[in-house]
Structures are given as C-alpha cells and as structure tokens.
A and B are shown apart, each in its own frame.
Chain A
Amino acid sequence: MNAVAAQRWNFWGGIITALTLVWAILWAFPLYWGVISSLKPDDEVVRPYIELWPETPTLENYVSALTTTQIGAWYVNSVAVAVGVTVITIFISMLCGYAISQLRFPGRIALWWLILASFMVPTSALIINHFVLVANLGLLNSWAGIMLPQLIHPVIIIVYKQFFDQVPKDFREAAVMDNASEFGILFKIYMPMNWGVTTALSIVCFIWTWNAFLWPFLSVTRTEMMTITVGITQVNDAFGVYYARQLSAAVLAGLPVALAYLFFQRRVTEAITLSAGIKG
C-alpha cells in the first residue's frame, strides 16, 4: 500500500468514526430528553423552544409521581414477579438441562425435541387460553397468575444443556465412583462450574420479566396489582397533561433494568448473544 492510499484510508476511517459517534449521540438523545424533561418544573416543560438543561432542576415530578399514584405498590409487584419468575425458571431449567445433558432415561430425545419445537410457538397467540387457565385457577390479579405463563423459557434449558455438555465426563465418573448422589454431583460439581452462565441468564431473565407487557396487562385489572410496566401506561388520567410527571414515572420504571445492564454490561450481552445463537 503506498503512502497516499494509506492516508486516504485513514481519512475516511476518521470520517466513519466521527459519523458513528454523532449517530450514537442522536440515537440516545430521546432517552436524555426524557430524563431531562422529567427534571423540569411544569412551566418549563411546555416552553415553545428547546432547552437542553432545566433552568431550575427539580424533583417535584418524582415526588408527585410517588405520592399521587400507586407506583410504590407497582414496584413491589414488579420486583416480586421478576424475582419469582427468575428464581423458578432458572432452577427448573437447570435441573431439566442437567438431566437431558448427563442422564440417560427413556423419553430423553422426545423431551429435547419438544423443547426445541416450543421455540416456534408464539406465546402471544396463547393469550386467550392463558387467561382462561389462570381465571379458572382463580389467579387473576395475583402474583402467581402474572408469573405462571412466564415460567417457560426453553432457551435457558438449551443454554444449560450445552454448558453441561462441555463438562468433561471424567468429573462425573469420578464422582459416581465416590458414591456421590446425583443431586450432590449437580449442586457440588456442575453448578459451581457454571456460575457465570447462571448469573448471566438470571440477569436477562429478570430483565425480560420486568419488561413483559402483554400478559401482565391482560391478567391484572386491579390498579394496585399492576406491574410497573403496565401501571405507568394505565393511569394517564391521574396525570392529566402533566408530561413531566409521566416521564418521571417512566424513568422510575426503566431505571432498574437500565442499571442492571450498565452494571453487568458484559454478562448481559453475553447472555443475549448466547440465547440468540441457539435460537437458530
């Protein structure tokens, strides 16, 4: 490569980098704008010109969102449902993934195909019958009712199976020789070896459940039982035209997942790539 060509290469490279940066800032701007607007007093929010920073920053919108709506209860509901779904899903999926990976039993192949096939089923087509089922169980407007249809994430079983498949067979054979129980083998050998996957999957499972909209929206009719994702969209009347208060409620709803992502960025991206690569 001669000098002129190299220079041109670097010049265009610089342009592309600059464009990417500008694009990234524009991309994230609505998020910034939402947060900034939520920190403005009512009269500033509706000014007919653009102010990129509040003149008198205030938390009054947050105070009012917290005191005039049931956002506290929604928070509790969201945390309970998301933690419940995550713990149960991770636990049952790990057990099932371990069994399929390490044990030989009749129906193993059939079960594996059943799990693979369930990828194809769109759960949003099942809303009618989920509703009938949960209503018949008397679980509408309850945490258990919001959780039940969300407990099935075939992808988590598949990821666990693949990770357990990678553990060398010697570990298991040695443990069997030592007369270790099957549960002992799972909890003392296989689980500690895969803590990384377990944390990564738990974080994304929590985020998925926190963000779920359609089912929590259908299965809850009482305002105090709503999850925060649904709650903040269902009480527009309470806010009237107070955009800033609505936005402060949105910030409160998005904060936990945004923080979870920013703290565990590497884990989250790892888990998401894992779950997608396998979806194929």
Chain B
Amino acid sequence: MLRNSRTERLVALVLVAPFLAIYLLAFVYPTVQMFRISFTDAPLIGAGQWVGLDNYLRLDNDPMFRRAVWNTAYFVLMTVVPGTFIALLIALGVSRLKGRFQSIVLALFFLPYILPVSVVYLIWDWTLNFQFGIAMHVLDWLGIPRVPVFKSRVWFLPAVAGVTIWWTAGFSILLFLAGLRSIPAEIYEAAALDNSTRWTTFRRITWPLLWPITSLVFTIQLILQLKIFDQVYLFSIGGRPNDNMVLVYYVFQKAFQQNQGGRAAAVAVTLFVLVVVVSVLQFQLLRFAERRRR
C-alpha cells in the first residue's frame, strides 16, 4: 500500500496540474496584481510609483465614483427585487401546466436568457426605437407621448433594468420550478382536503417551503447585477455614458479610456470587496437554510 500511495500522489499531481497552472496564471496572479497596483499611480500598461492609500482616498471626493455607486445600487434595487418576484409568479404559472405544453411555455420564457447580451441589446434598441419602434406605436395608440428611452436620463436605468429582468428571468424561473417540484404532492392534497383556499395554500405551504430557493435566487441575482456593465455600455452607445455610470463601467473608463490603471484598480478592489461580502453572506444564509431543512 505504501508504494501505492506514492503513485497515487504522483497521479493526483499530474491530474491537478493543468487546472492549477491556468488557475494560478489567469486568476490568482491577476487578483494579487489588482491589489498591488491599486496602491500605485501606474498607467494601464507599465510600472508606477507607490502612492499608498491615495487612490482610495481620492474616491471619497470623486463625484463620478459616487454616481457609479449610486447608479449601481439603484440598478440592483430595480432588477433584483422585481426580478425575483416576476420569476416566482411565472414559475407558479408554468408549474401548473403539464408535459409538452409546459416545456413550450417554459421555452418562451427561457429563450431570452440563452441569447448573447448584444442580441438582446439590438432587439430592444429596435423595439424601443424612438422613431420606428413597435413600443412607440403602442404608446401613440394609448395616447402617451413618446419617450427617447435610452437617451433620457430618467428612463435609462429603469429601462435597462426592465430589459435585464426580461433577459435573466429564465434562470430564476428554472430554479423556482426545481424548488416547486421538490414540494411533495401529498402536502397539497392534504390542504385540498382541508378546503384550503388558493391563497392560504400558497402562504402556508408554497412560500415557506420555497424560501431557501427564493433566498438563493435573490442572492445570485444580487451578485450578478452588482457587476452590471454590458447592457449599460451597449445602450449608452451614442448616448450619455457619464450620466449612466456604474461601477464596472467606471473601472473600464478609468483603465481603458483614461489610462489610469492604479486608480481603476482601486475601484475594482472596492467592487471586489463588495461582491465577496455579499457572497459570504449568501453562503452563511444557505448554510442556515440547509440546517433548518434537516
């Protein structure tokens, strides 16, 4: 057995090595570097002088950074809460359907999620086009004045949030459906025997038993939407990116458009810490939920 455990170690090393090499190169190293250059005045490419906490202290008085934080928070609020709620409603509707019919209806709700963000952008840019968009015809018909949605300061983020909900709901719907399926049918049969109303059944059975999934969907969405960039960038083309500034966009702007790698890294570290804190909370929440289930 002794000889065996030595070969076992050797084999393990060979099997783990390819992943570990890529992981260290493309993940650990960039993470360490991000922290390091956030304390320097480095440009995007090239070395810089050590400036201590200067990059972080500047953020405190940086109106654009504040706007980015505020807009990100606003966007998260507008996507995560309504998005989770809408996905739950859809999942409840879809879960009542049977067989082939169910998978067709599910596919209609799920298809947007499978598409690239740029396709989603082109479709909605066209649908909401100020001159020719079909949504504007509907507004005309309802007697509401047209809105240049993606050129408007007020409507930009809510509209992008709406498109994002449409795009990502499919994922949450799937998780909710899996959760609904795991609730035993006998519980519902017992409730029906007790003449329980639809609302009571939902409130007393479905909602509490679905709670672990709801919190999972909620936190996954939260982490995802904190990292918003693609949609904001795309819908801002030809518009006003500075008004719609969000955190990742600010990292992009500082690093790639203003060539300030160090300052951009400070913003990236802030985002990094934010996401890690939320993830740890999520992990704790799930562990708690799991313990309660047992």
Contacts and interface: CB of A to CB of B under 8 A. Distances in A.
A229 B226 CA distance: 22
A1 B192 contact: yes
A20 B97 contact: yes
B39 to A, nearest CB: 14
Contacts of A258: 111, 114-115
Interface in A16-56: 16-17, 19-21, 23-25, 27-28, 30-31, 33-34, 37, 45-46, 48-50
Which among B103, B123, B178, B276 has the highest number of chain A CB atoms within 10 Å?
B123
B134 interface: yes
Interface string A144-155: 000011011000
A148 B109 CA distance: 33
B81 interface: no
B107 interface: yes
Contacts of B78: none
Contacts of B271: 122, 124-125
A124 B247 CA distance: 10
B8 A105 contact: yes
Contact of B216 (A50, A120, A151, A276): A276
B15 A98 contact: yes
Interface string B72-100: 00000000000000000010011011000
Contacts of B16: 95-96, 99-100, 105, 111
A157 interface: yes
A22 B225 CA distance: 28
A218 interface: yes
A171 interface: no
Nearest to B278: A120
Which among B94, B132, B282 has the highest number of chain A CB atoms within 10 Å?
B132
Contact of A131 (B22, B44, B94, B131): B44
B279 A27 contact: no
Interface residues of B, number: 93
Looking at chain B's contact residues, the main secondary structure is helix
B157 interface: no
A14 to B, nearest CB: 10
Nearest to B261: A128
Interface string B222-264: 0100110110001001000000000010011001100001001
B24 to A, nearest CB: 10
Given A132-B45, A213-B116, A254-B119, A20 B105 contact: yes
Interface in A239-280: 243, 246-247, 249-251, 253-254, 257-258, 260-262, 265, 268-269, 272-273, 276-277, 279-280
B15 A233 contact: no
Contacts of A124: 227, 229, 248, 251, 271
Nearest to B216: A280
Contacts of B216: 276, 279-280
Contact of B11 (A182, A247, A262): A182
Nearest to A51: B134
B61 interface: no
B220 interface: yes
B126 A243 contact: yes
A257 B279 contact: no
Give 3 closest A-B pairs by Cβ, nearest first: A20-B93, A129-B30, A105-B12
13 contacts: A28-B111, A50-B134, A98-B15, A105-B12, A122-B223, A127-B255, A133-B29, A214-B229, A229-B119, A247-B122, A257-B116, A276-B171, A280-B282
Interface of B: 4-5, 7-9, 11-13, 15-16, 18-20, 22-23, 25-27, 29-31, 33-34, 37, 44-45, 90, 93-94, 96-97, 103, 105, 107-112, 114-119, 121-124, 126-127, 129, 131-132, 134, 137, 166, 171, 174-175, 178, 192-193, 195, 198, 216, 220, 223, 226-227, 229-230, 234, 237, 248, 251-252, 255-256, 261, 264-265, 268-269, 271-272, 275-276, 279-280, 282-283, 286
Interface of A: 1, 5, 9, 12-13, 16-17, 19-21, 23-25, 27-28, 30-31, 33-34, 37, 45-46, 48-50, 91-93, 95-96, 98-100, 103-106, 108, 111, 114, 118-122, 124-133, 135, 148-149, 151-152, 157, 176, 182-183, 186, 207, 210-211, 213-214, 218, 228-230, 232-233, 236, 243, 246-247, 249-251, 253-254, 257-258, 260-262, 265, 268-269, 272-273, 276-277, 279-280
Given A27-B109, A127-B248, 5 more contacts: A20-B93, A105-B12, A124-B248, A213-B117, A250-B123
